[in-house]
Amino acid sequence: MLSYTYMASAWSFGSLSGRLNWSFTGGANRNSFHNRNKSTRKSLTSTQQRRSKTPWHKPLTNAIFSSHFKEASRNDQFHIVDLVAKGAFGVVFKVINKRYAQDLTQQQQTTAAANCSATTPLHPAPIYALKVLKKSKIIEENSVQQIKDEADIQKLCGHHSFIVQQVDSWQNRRNLHILSEYVPNGELFTKLTHFSLDLIRVYLAEIALAIDFLHNAGVIYRDVKPENILLTANFHIKITDFGLSKWLRLGATTRTMCGTFQYMGTI
């Protein structure tokens, strides 16, 4: 046992001595060692530099919204016709697609030249509502998830007959953009006069159908008011502005109080 221990110790010391002799005795060995170390250090430094220079492809304000708003530059595709509304985070414009507007102008010129306006119908360029929201304001008010929910809900539920349909959404460096169908007859609020009983029943039924559809989809709307109910060309209703809407699973409740004070009921 003693002999085995001595041999093992001698082997370890000898191996260590061999390594020391190889490392520090003899010019060739010393140069080889330093060259290898220099090469290793250079390789490590190069790797660290590559890692430190890894590009950050998206600014933080873009990355926050990237799951819901793709990055694009489309503002130059639309011509602003009018300012429709102002809100807490931005504005809504009435816009027209420039390409379609150019096609319409060419069509009108061709029709006038051919003098066949009676037989050649003109197809008007599509008009949209473009909501432009300031990202800095949204982040400042801690409303990032609220805006994401708004975009999601309108995108997924906008195919309903009585809900404003979202056409597209994107972001640039400063703003979020939500492009929706344009509802030409404006807010129900501006038409509040003496409605007939039959018309009131129709509007109540259409609003109830839209709210019921949202509830079945797991959405609570939370801001029913005449300003958020738009009238189509045929004077049917369309619900808009899902800024206070929220996804809510079956049986769950919400503890927040929100809405427009003048239209909030009391218990």
Domains of the chain, residue spans: 62-263
Whole-angstrom distance, CA of residue 203 vs CA of residue 120: 37
Place of tokens 């909030």: 264
Angle at 19 between CA 14 and CA 24, to 5 degrees: 125
Residue 217, C-beta contacts closer than 8 angstroms, at least 6 positions apart:
156, 157
Q: How many Cβ atoms are within 10 Å of 158's Cβ, its own excluded?
A: 18
Q: What is the CATH number of domain 62-263?
A: 1.10.510.10
Q: Residues 220-243, buried b or exposed e (16+ Cβ, 10 A)?
A: bbbbeeebbbbbeeeeebbbbbbb
Using a pLDDT cut of 70, give the percent of the chain over it.
Answer: 68
Residue 246, CB-side half-sphere exposure with 13 Å CA sphere = 15
pTM equals 0.68
pLDDT over threshold 90, residue 99:
no
Could you confirm whether 223 is annotated as catalytic?
yes
Q: What share of the chain is helix, strand, coil (3-state, %, to 5)?
A: 45, 20, 35
Pairing of strands 70-71, 166-171: parallel
Directed axis angle between helix 197-216 and helix 144-157, to 10°?
A: 110
pLDDT for position 62: 82
Please, which pLDDT band fits residue 264 given cuts at 50, 70 and 90?
confident
Mean predicted confidence (pLDDT) in 170-193: 93
Mean predicted confidence (pLDDT) in 30-55: 55
Single out the catalytic residue among 76, 149, 212, 223: 223
DSSP structure string for 106-157: HHHHHHHHHT-TTTS---PPPEEEEEEEEHHHHHHTT-HHHHHHHHHHHHHH
Please, which pLDDT band fits residue 18 given cuts at 50, 70 and 90?
very low
